[in-house]
Structure 1
């Protein structure tokens, strides 16, 4: 009996396999399937970009909302039958996915265990929740909004490639102010690349010192089409921009979160063009009106001042200026007369005082004493004889009386009692006359 071949012992793990002791392909496939089946089912949010229905199974291609990432999903008819409305391309959904490995072909696939469309109400609820959170941070505060320049020289425009919104902004702005210049950035304005594209264009224009204002424009669309303009990343990027930003998204009824954070909201792209640049025709008309008003005010001022001058000229002082001079001349004459009278009065009073004082002085003068019979006797050295002892026999003397001077000679002293009164009076008079001469 033939001996049975020895059974080969396989490596327990993939890391222990070697070229001499490899795994059978079937074993690798089984282990991969077992490992993949351990992964739990996961709920994801995505957008349906492809949908192929075949009998009882449908093949979907889901794409991430914010990135270029796609995944193929197989969904059984029983799952789709639970939906109230048929699933369509472009729908936003949340799906429960579980990976599955097909051993026979070695193909990995994703099985859709459940799928639910994200309704309009859910999207609005998410946007409203984000709106409240951003408003609480102060991103929508009117005080942080920057004023637009009165006349921007260069406008940054972020819009779709060759879109009607771009044409509306360019055409209407150029019609209003032909000298305006644009720096245009054409980006995707819907889909997964919209948010990143708009943010990149915004940052580029914000760093360009030539750009005075930035306009983000897009035409109308469904709520799903306008979702990128309510994305939190884009809203924060606009809030951080140093250049004023104008939001011109959709129509009047559309109001994404970008409208709340922008420095100015325009209802449409055409409205944005009208609000960021003035109308040259209107400005010229305003200049004309201002010039007309200015001319009218100047004429009114001239007429009013002319009437005032005419009224002033009718006043007596201006009609006959000499009247004012004559009245002032009369005042000056009256004042001069009063001053002259006052001076004369003072002069007369002081003259009387001088006469009185002169009379007093004359009454007390030495001459009056001489007139009363007194005399002054002097020696040769003109010293005054004050005592009889100063006079000897033959002493030359000079005697002054009221009528003049004469000389004499002394004959010796006389008795004191006989001459004492006269001598005393003569001595005082001599002293006074000597002081007067001095």
Structure 2
């Protein structure tokens, strides 16, 4: 039954139903969608438009919560209609439907303001789940809209500036050295050992792993903010974060690689600037390519944890990266050089790496394949599942060293 697609909201006598408008040029599709939604007690189909033009007009007149929009229609197509509806009815959320699943369709839909993209044919469960999810996002957005009070905005900004936290980027120019695992475990170590508010943000937009490592379902991601770039506020951003049982909050990367294009470098920068005012420490996992997103993250970071392993390709890439940091005039005090997966059986010593790169290694994390593999496969960070392991203790020590460096810089 479609009712089992997702939990129903706690309906009360005065709670409004989800008001939904269908826009599709095929009569059979409109009728099938009505039938799929007929038995959903919290969804009310308030209208059905036969074209993009009619959809725009009905959206303005009916002010629905959600528009279920077909992408391929004669005349004004779904993407153009979505852009118009987003402008005319900004509180309306759009779910795009298409038989085409290509990345370009998805990217254009998200940029036009769509919050969800359904590929036909879809099940009633998928449809109802998407409607309820998108409605909740829209509801949170409406609740987060500030009430205009003269002089209030300036006061809030001043207060936020006084409580700005620190951004810590975890980066390596070589993939596979353990940045994501370290970022997640470092964030939890900081949260649990230092009575501070900690967030972890995944800016590896195409293939981010933070959600998997924390065993979090990507019901909300940074891509949800793409269509709201012009009206971001702290409460809206906060609603996109997912809570983890450790107390850490996570902002996940998009669920699919093709959605990454909807998240622009300026959006990432603005989100981080706002998030740092909401948390004491923001740990940012990055990709290994120096693109505009990563460079924005590094520019904003108070500390850059540069990770390498005792392997020639990783060391070579780090050396090249350090040359880039010199050209960018990054202060050396902002960089914390970490050697991961240290192993006495490997004949490349930390001292040799320091001598070659002219950078002091400030922390070493031991190679512990069994602990890390179990942690990754179970979705339980090793600082929680294997607290007494040498690796977990070394990660906690790294967190303490990081906090100490911030304290010293403020003295």
TM-score (norm 1): 0.26
Which protein has the larger Cα radius of gyration, Structure 1 or Structure 2? 1
TM-score (norm 2): 0.27
Q: Which one scores higher on RCO, CA 8 angstroms, separation ≥ 6?
A: 2
